[in-house]
Amino acid sequence: MIEHSLSLCYHNKLILAPMVRVGTLPMRLLALDYGADIVYCEELIDLKMLQCKRVVNEVLSTVDFVAPDDRVVFRTCKREQSRVVFQMGGMGAALLSDPDKIEKILSTLVKGTRRPVTCKIRILPSLEDTLSLVKRIERTGIAAVAVHGRKREERPQHPVSCEAIRAIAETLSIPVIANGGSHDHIQEYLDIEDFRQATAASSVMVARAAMWNPSIFLKEGLRPLEEVMQKYIRYAVQYENHYTNTKYCLCQMLREQLESPQGRLLHAAQSSQEICEAFGLGAFYEEMTQELNARRAEFLARTPEAAGEPAEDTSGIIKMAVKFDRRAYSPQITPKMCLLEWCRREKLAQPVYDTVQRPLDRLFCSVVTVAEQKYQSTLWDKSKKLAEQAAAIVCLRSRGLPEGRLGEESPSLHKRKREAPDQDPGGPRAQEPAVPGKLCKKPFVALGSGEESPLEGW
């Protein structure tokens, strides 16, 4: 596991360890708030990063690394600029069996970048082999080495070897970062220093204990979990962290409380808004959403070319400011279904959806055509499906038609069984599949320079 680090000192530091799915921007900022000196990001596969474009997100005040499929692979902000470590990996502990490759990779990185390079390893079956490996690693010129005091096949329930880490620290002249002490050794702030002394390490890297409660880095002691989780959620909303990642991290914090009433609400949440409501932050979500929308509107007013509006003349489009909220509709009825059913009854062509994605924030807007009239919501959505539902709502409301909302009478819309070949033509017809709209294009604004690495100029 290789880390591409910034100009950092690795003596007497509290470090948030790299963790799959956990080390996203909200968790890193939270750890810094509570006293972490250095934060490692989630594992980034080097090949994926090379394929990314560096995008300045002026709405969120972040720098995003965006994959060809428009997925944000990594998001960072100015506040953590000098304290975050890019962790490049993909092979993990498997490299331990190939010391020649380790040495070659590290030597190439050290010679090829102006920034310090560190690496993180596990111990080998024998102490002699482990010391031989770390000596070869040190000769490559790296700035520090992090050591997880367990063997490759060992899991968290196995005891961490403080003795092995101490032997490495006493052998090398570069800083050694001790890792693996969560639970058995580290349960509160004072335990971090005890673990450092037990391993004779220069610094300590904390993983699971920080995942459970990031205030482990706070000198004054752990903060109440409810307070920590609410602070995490605020960062997640502010930086538009995907709700599935937010939900996963909160579940790791709740642990044995997942069966509590709040835990069940979290488990049932299917959006950032529902997560906020589960923790009493519904008003905050509304305020932050309005603020972010205002920032987008201001940015688009300054830079109309970033709007990504359809190229055609939109003067004849009927527009409304509406969004589709799944909770307001019957479980198996959507506005698109209602609109399709109405078109069939009226013997009209099926609705045609034309959806575009805005480069600035990768939000979607859809225009639906029904009977040669176009309809569009002026509010942009986070997915193509939501944007199409919003366009269908505009059409239905402008025509005074039912749209499937709870409590609304819509007697003609029922789920239909597929018609058998010899079925009476007068009986119920089969539900015909809707013709999909055009595939939306997914452009993004790339602000990189030439063929530079995505990390250059960060």
From residue 417, how far is each of 420, 423, 430, 432, 434 by CA, in Å? 9, 11, 6, 10, 16
Listed ranges 53-67, 149-163, 292-306, 358-372; the one with the highest mean pLDDT: 149-163
CATH number for the domain including 85?
3.20.20.70
Say how far apart CA 101 and CA 440 lie, in whole Å.
Answer: 43
User: For the CA atoms of the chain, what is the radius of gyration?
Assistant: 27
Strands laid side by side in the 62-66 sheet:
53-57, 62-66, 72-77
Q: Could you tell me if 159 and 270 lie in one domain?
A: no
Q: Span 30-55, mean pLDDT?
A: 88
The domain in which residue 362 lies consists of 311-399
Residue located via tokens 């509006």: 309
| Residue 123, token pair as written in the block | 């111990």
Is the residue at 436 inside a domain? no
Q: Could you tell me if 288 and 184 lie in one domain?
A: no
Say which range, 212-221, 253-262, 330-339, 447-456, has the weakest mean pLDDT: 447-456
Q: Could you tell me if 191 and 138 lie in one domain?
A: yes
Say how far apart CA 217 and CA 190 lie, in whole Å.
Answer: 9
Nearest to 364 by CA among 433, 282, 438, 284: 438
The residues, ordered by sequence, that sit 6+ positions from 192 with a Cβ below 8 Å of its Cβ are 14, 181, 186, 204, 206, 216, 217
Is the residue at 393 inside a domain? yes
| Residue 446, token pair as written in the block | 């790339």
Say how far apart CA 40 and CA 43 lie, in whole Å.
Answer: 9
The residues, ordered by sequence, that sit 6+ positions from 94 with a Cβ below 8 Å of its Cβ are none
3-state secondary structure of 211: helix
Q: Could you tell me if 292 and 316 lie in one domain?
A: no
Is the residue at 99 inside a domain? yes
Q: Could you tell me if 293 and 345 lie in one domain?
A: no
Read off the pLDDT of residues 256-305 as tens digits, 9 standing for 90 and up: 999 999 999 999 998 999 999 999 999 999 999 999 988 888 887 776 55
CATH number for the domain including 315?
3.30.160.20
Read off the pLDDT of residues 335-393 as tens digits, 9 standing for 90 and up: 999 999 999 999 999 999 999 988 777 789 999 999 999 999 988 888 999 999 999 99
Is the residue at 429 inside a domain? no
Q: Could you tell me if 52 and 119 lie in one domain?
A: yes
Q: Span 393-405, mean pLDDT?
A: 93
User: Running DSSP on this structure, what letter comes out for residue 185?
Assistant: T
Is the residue at 407 inside a domain? no
Is the residue at 31 inside a domain? yes
Q: Could you tell me if 120 and 258 lie in one domain?
A: no
Q: Could you tell me if 19 and 128 lie in one domain?
A: yes
**Residue-level length of the chain:** 458
Read off the pLDDT of residues 185-218 as tens digits, 9 standing for 90 and up: 999 999 999 999 999 999 999 999 999 999 999 9
Please check whether residue 37 is in contact with residue 13, taking contact to mean a CB–CB distance below 8 angstroms.
yes
Domain boundary among 302, 325, 340: 302
Better pLDDT: 51 or 416: 51
Q: Could you tell me if 212 and 275 lie in one domain?
A: no
Please check whether residue 64 is in contact with residue 55, taking contact to mean a CB–CB distance below 8 angstroms.
yes
Q: Could you tell me if 33 and 150 lie in one domain?
A: yes
Q: Could you tell me if 297 and 323 lie in one domain?
A: no
Q: What is the maximum span of the chain, computed from C-alpha positions, in angstroms?
A: 87
Number of domains in the chain: 3
Domain boundary among 174, 191, 221: 221
Is the residue at 417 inside a domain? no
The secondary structure element, H or E, covering residue 132 is: helix 127-139
Q: Span 219-235, mean pLDDT?
A: 97
pTM: 0.74
Give residue 301's identity as a one-letter amino acid code: A
Q: Could you tell me if 61 and 40 lie in one domain?
A: yes
